[in-house]
Structures are given as structure tokens and as C-alpha cells.
Amino acid sequence: MFQYTCLNPIAKKGTDIFGSDYKLSDTLEGCDAVLVRSAKMHDMELPASVCAIARAGAGVNNIPVKECAEKGIVVFNTPGANANGVKELVIAGMLLASRDIVGGIEWVEKEKDREDIDKLAEKEKKKFAGCEIAGKKLGIIGLGAIGALVANAASALGMDVYGYDPFLSIDAAWNLSRTIHHSKTLDEIYTQCDYITIHVPLTDDNKKMINADAFGKMKDGVVLLNFARDLLVDEDALISALSSGKVKKYVTDFANPTVAGREGILVTPHLGASTEESEENCAVMAAKELRDFLENGNIKNSVNFPNCDMGTCISVGRIAVTHRNIPNMISQVTQILGGEGVNIADLTNKGKGEFAYTLIDLESTASREALDALAAIEGVTRVRVIK
């Protein structure tokens, strides 16, 4: 029986993936796995039983990913599962920034009791006029699952799309419309585009990447959209750029005291992935990742450990070892198992940055002593018996 907890409400379609072998718990105590959406986990005390965390979403900045790797806790995310939901809101954001739809709706609301509202509307509507997005240049920073969908949709709406992504995956490249210009530098995006939208994960290295220097290079009257994370933008520099007219509108999905209620800024309360479809897709993907890891030891879509797939566990004994990605680990592991007379039927070892994962199918079960000896190898962070 496995035990898991949800730190945020998670769509039922996802939690239904867990069968009768799973118990949903109210607390972390004794849990094998954790499902999370936006709860901040940096200061959370995790019990030693937790070996996996799955974020129902793409960004993992609410999870202490490296500390988890050091404890042998595999952190998963759900890349692409909410991409369409975010893409649709980005397109809406561009339209809201181009025409004063919000101002127009507010005007009607204010004047709703006037008998002559129809005549007055025709007189007043010029106050809310705007421009079209077709024919304008859109720069996309980051062409992952969301950026690529935005690129294709904007291109279909008649925009001239420029994409910048030095880490573009082959899959993403295949999915991009041939109309998208490949920008080799951020400067090309900054200097050429009328609309700029950011679709990169927040890391320690790219905090405030959209800073005064970047704003200085942008066209006057640029529209900036941020549905990724607020900390990617230096908001003090943004406020100056709005005051000078460099930035015409900032559309952000991240409400905070600096941007809320400020002229020239359209703020939504982190709604990008808040659709029934995105929430279900993320929950289902996260639950499937956890099940495959807990039941078979397989890893797919982890942000701190490599992918590893040895299929459904049908061997007599399967063990999973998380460890540092350093020399001599496999020989120490095989020596211990060999010394116990346990034959290895299959073994996969993969590394990702500082951390690595070894999944081993055995022809007989490993003894307690052998498991303890594996756990005592310097650099091993966790030994888990799958079967």
C-alpha cells in the first residue's frame, strides 16, 4: 500500500489514477509521494518516507529541487500538460493590450442605467479604440511547449513571429510553423518586436533578465507579456519604462503589490493554467508519473533525475538507487550484490548533472545486509526496494 498527500486541490481525474493500493493522507507523515501545485515547499520538513514529489504544472520554483535530489527525492513536473491553457491566455493578453476591451466593458457597466446608452456608446467608443495584432512583430523568448504553441497561434493570426531559444529541442523545432523566424540573439527580439512574450522557466541565473538594459533596446511603445514568472522581470525597471512610454502595456499573470492596480499594467491572478482541461491534464500526467515511479521505479519528466525506463516490474526483485553522479558507483553496487551471491538480470544507470539513478533487476531478492551495505556507499542517497 502506498500513501500520498496533495498539498493543493488536485483534479479528481488525476487522483482517480491511483488505485486501491493507494491511500490519500491529510498529512505528509508516512507518505511515499506528494502532489503539489502552488504550495511553497522550501521551508517544509519532509519525512524520510517521501521519495517523490510531482508538480501539477511546469514551473518547479516552489520546490527545493536540489535539496530533494540530495535526499534521493525525485521531483517530477508535467511539461506541456497546461500549454494550451496558457497559450490561449497569452493570445487574450495580446488582444487586451491592443484594444481597450476592459475600459470599454467598464464604461458600459458604469452607464448601464442610461436610456440613451446606445447613442452615447457610438459617441464615446473612440476612447477605447486600439490596433490590430495582425501584421505586428511578436518576439517569443523560449520555444518550449507553451512558446511553440503561442508562436504557431500568433502566426495563424497574421503576426510576424520571431522566436529565440538557444536550447530548442528537436521535438519543439518539428512542431514549429515554418513561418517563424529563428532569432539568434535576444537583441534581435528586443530591437525588432512590437510585442514580446516570455516563456522560460525561472532559475537562479535568469532572475530579472528583462532589466533596464533590455528595456533600453526595445522599440518605443512595446507590449511585454509575462505568463512565465514575475521574477523574470525587473519590475522597478519596468515601472520606469512604462513612465517613459518605452513600454505601452505590461500584461502579467502574477499579481504583486508593485504591479497591481498600476496604470499601463494588466494583471491576472495566475490564471494561465486555470482551465478544467489544463488542471485535469496536469493531474493525470503527475499521477501517472508517480505511479510508474512508485510501482516500477521508472522516471519520466523529472527535473532532478534522469529519465529511466525498465518497463513494468516483473522480476523477482527490483531495486532503485539514487546517488551522486561520480565514478565507481556501479562497481561498488555490483560488488556488494555479487558478494551476496545475487545475480543481476538487468541494470540501467543514467546521470543528470550532479545526480544519477541506477535501477536493477535481480534474479533473487537482496538481503537486508546487502541493502544496508548499498545505502552505506558514499554518495548513495537512497536505496528503494521496488519488489
State in angstroms the smallest separation of the CB of 45 from ligand MLT.
Answer: 23
C-alpha cell at 182: 529563428
Work out which of 273, 285, 362, 366 binds ligand MLT, going by CB under 6 A.
273
Question: Is 57 an interacting residue with respect to ligand MLT (CB under 6 A)?
Answer: yes
Question: Is 53 an interacting residue with respect to ligand MLT (CB under 6 A)?
Answer: no
Question: Is 82 an interacting residue with respect to ligand MLT (CB under 6 A)?
Answer: yes
- Window of 166-174, 184-192, 231-239, 268-276 that interacts with ligand MLT by CB under 6 A: 268-276
State in angstroms the smallest separation of the CB of 189 from ligand MLT.
Answer: 22
- Window of 111-119, 208-216, 266-274, 296-304 that interacts with ligand MLT by CB under 6 A: 266-274
C-alpha span between 88 and 272 (Å, rounded): 8
Strand order in the sheet with 355-362: 344-352, 355-362, 317-324, 380-385
How distant, in Å, are the alpha carbons of 3, 147, 174, 282, 332 from that of 84? Answer: 31, 10, 17, 12, 46
**Residues present in the chain in total:** 387
Q: Which is nearer to ligand MLT, 36 or 223 (CB)?
A: 36
Question: Is 144 an interacting residue with respect to ligand MLT (CB under 6 A)?
Answer: no
- Contacts of the segment 160-166: beta carbons below 8 A, 24+ positions apart: 160/135, 160/136, 161/137, 162/137, 162/138, 162/188, 162/189, 162/192, 162/193, 163/139, 164/139, 164/140, 164/188, 164/189, 165/141
Cα atoms in the Cβ-side hemisphere of radius 13 Å centred on 157: 20
Site string for ligand MLT, 26-45 (x = CB under 6 A): -----------xx-------
- Window of 237-245, 269-277, 343-351, 363-371 that interacts with ligand MLT by CB under 6 A: 269-277
C-alpha span between 320 and 383 (Å, rounded): 6
- Window of 94-102, 243-251, 265-273, 312-320 that interacts with ligand MLT by CB under 6 A: 265-273
Question: Is 304 an interacting residue with respect to ligand MLT (CB under 6 A)?
Answer: no
Work out which of 10, 58, 69, 75 binds ligand MLT, going by CB under 6 A.
58
Q: Which is nearer to ligand MLT, 270 or 382 (CB)?
A: 270
Largest CA distance in the chain: 92
How distant, in Å, are the alpha carbons of 15, 35, 80, 253, 285 from that of 288? Answer: 9, 11, 15, 28, 5
- Window of 11-19, 56-64, 156-164, 239-247 that interacts with ligand MLT by CB under 6 A: 56-64
Question: Which spans of this chain sit near ligand MLT (rule: CB under 6 A)?
Answer: 37-38, 57-59, 82, 270, 272-273
